[in-house]
Amino acid sequence: MEIERVIGHIAGVPVGAHFHRRQDVLRAKLHQNNQKGISWLVDEDGAEVGDAIVLHGGYVDDRDEDEWVQYTGASPDKDKAEGGKRLLRSQSWSYRDNAALKRSYERKHHIRVIRGYKGDSRYSPSDSYRYDGLYEITAIRTATSSQAAPDGSEIKICQFDLQRLPDHLQADLPER
């Protein structure tokens, strides 16, 4: 049975809700996948659009400033020996997850942000996952990663800037 998911807040899941495991985030319909950072769904016109991201110690070029996030897109080519954090080659806007998140930027869809315990310790929970509300994607770009490919060449990455929506647009705000 497929879980019905939506863009925006999920009914019954307040901002600030904590989840013990990633599987619990999935069951709450906040994210479609138990491992990937970018979640997407099929929009009304049949196009795939991003609906959520998980900040959980992703790539070296990510920045988390709580209300503002610089998020590195996804890649199927990661070095498993480095815990999946080291890219082996450049990312692509045509890769399904990046294309879906880019489409959300173009359509001005808001994105749910879930912070995991491996994220920036200043803003992330210490031992769980937390739904931190809706963010707007304010900019996208192709950038050069601060890390090089194994052969020493530059790695191009898909980057997204996200800004947290003001409190009055967040539902049932508890302490974060």
Q: What is the mean predicted confidence (pLDDT) over 120-125?
A: 94
Minimum mean pLDDT among 27-36, 80-89, 145-154, 159-168: which range? 80-89
Q: Which residue has the tokens 């879980």?
A: 3
Q: Rounded to whole angstroms, how far apart are CA atoms 116 and 18?
A: 10
Cα atoms in the Cβ-side hemisphere of radius 13 Å centred on 151: 6
Task: Render pLDDT for 30-85 as a digit per residue (tens, 0 to 9).
Answer: 999 888 999 999 999 999 999 999 999 888 999 999 999 999 999 876 555 455 56
Q: Is residue 157 pLDDT above 70, yes or no? A: yes
Residue 157 contacts by C-beta under 8 Å, 6 or more apart in sequence?
A: 59, 61, 72, 73, 87, 90, 91, 142, 143, 144, 145
Find residue 70's DSSP bridge partners: 63, 161
Beta-bridge partner residues of 53: 38, 113
